[in-house]
Each structure stands twice: as C-alpha cells, then as structure tokens.
Amino acid sequence: MTKLSVNINKIATLRNSRGGDVPNVVKAAIDIQDFGGQGITVHPRPDERHIRYQDVYDLKPVVRTEFNIEGKPIPKFMDVVLSVKPTQVTLVPDAENALTSNAGWDTLTHQDYLKEVIAEFKNAGIRTSIFIDTDVNLIEAAAKTGTDRIELYTEHFASEFEKGNKAVVESYAKAAEVANACGMGINAGHDLNLDNISFFKQHVPFLDEVSIGHALISESLYMGLQNVVNMYLHRLA
C-alpha cells in the first residue's frame, strides 16, 4: 500500500491569518493520525508564512507515524531538521519568495551540493528524498547523490489530467521505473487530489508515499477531515 502523508501547512496558514492558535496544528496532526493518516508533512519556509520553525519542534513529540520535513536546505532549515531528526527530509529547491514549490532539482548542476547535504542528513539517521521532475537524466543523476528516495513533482500531471490528457502519466511511470532500477524509493506530491490519485496510483509503479496538503484540506472543508483522509486511504489501497 502507498502511504498517505498529510501536509498540514494549510492548517497553519489558516491559523496565521487570524493570529492566536486556532486551528491548532498539533491537534490537527494528532487527529489526522487517529483518522488513519500514515504520516505528517510540514514545509517551513524562511518567512514562516504558514508552518513556523517552532511548530516543527512542537510536532515532534506527537507524530507517532512518519514525520516528513520538506524545504530548501538553508542553514536554519538544516539546523532544525538535524535537531528534530524526523523520519524523512525532502529537499526542495524553493525559489526566493515562491508562492509554492514550482520545480524540481537540477541534480546535474547541483550534484556536489546535494551530495554534501544528503550525507549530513543520512549520517544523522534521517531518510532523504529529492523533489524532482520526470527527466530520466536528472533521476539517474539523483541516484549519484546518495539520496534514499525521490519525490516526483506532480503539478504537470494534475493539470494535464484535468484537461483529459491521461497519457501524461506515462512519463511518471517511466521515471518511477528508472528510479527503482537505480535503487531509490519513489514518493510523489503536488496537486494530487481525490479525482486523480487513484489513476496515478494505478499507473505509477513502486509508489511508496504521497504527500498531499492543499487539495486534502480544501476537500475537507466540504466533506470533513476524517472522511477525506479515509477516502484517500481507500484510493491508495
């Protein structure tokens, strides 16, 4: 079964928009796990516009499934990750002031840098993953960094699937096959939702984990968080 890790950034966005501590991200993480979620993902950014660095420390004691921390490996991010020691760190090449993640790593250009960062995390016993597009050359280069997994950036899949172009999944299936052959696990995330997740899961082999936040929280506004988490689990079974 492909694991569901729920990204709770949007819970923090809602909290921050009003001040105070409602909704509470720690309670949300506890509830999501009680509802069957198999992981909690957070993506702190330098401006702390949603998840704050303190949230990461507050969440550590209550995440009893898998804790996945995403972000660009700037010094402050690395310090937090090495202190908290989550199950997994996902390296994302966030551009300055980016609204959301919008590209994967160029693992050819940044290979030496990624090797150094990944070695530090792995020496601390933290599983590593690289956010990446489906370019086979970049995936093969990712394997040379020492990363344990890749996370396929699925925004293009989601947008094309919505237009009716189901053939778009073929490049993701090929990417997963190459990654598996190179000895890496496969995660996926970005714009996956209840409408497209079953198709993606059925056609992309070796899928270890999906990380879903914006769509899942948005869908929960209409159908309830517990119900939506279970709908995803059913589609990923």
Candidate list 70, 151, 209, 219, residue with the active-site label: 70
- The CB-side HSE value for 139 (13 A sphere, CA atoms) comes to 26
Q: Where in the chain does DSSP place strands (E)?
A: 3-7, 39-42, 67-71, 88-91, 127-132, 149-153, 185-189, 207-212
Candidate list 43, 66, 151, 219, residue with the active-site label: 43
CA distances from 78 to 115, 119, 150, 173 (A): 14, 12, 18, 31
Nearest Cα to Cα of residue 190 among 151, 148, 229, 231:
151
Active-site residue 190, yes or no? Answer: yes
Active-site residue 110, yes or no? Answer: no
Candidate list 50, 151, 190, 219, residue with the active-site label: 190
Catalytic sites, residue numbers: 43, 70, 190
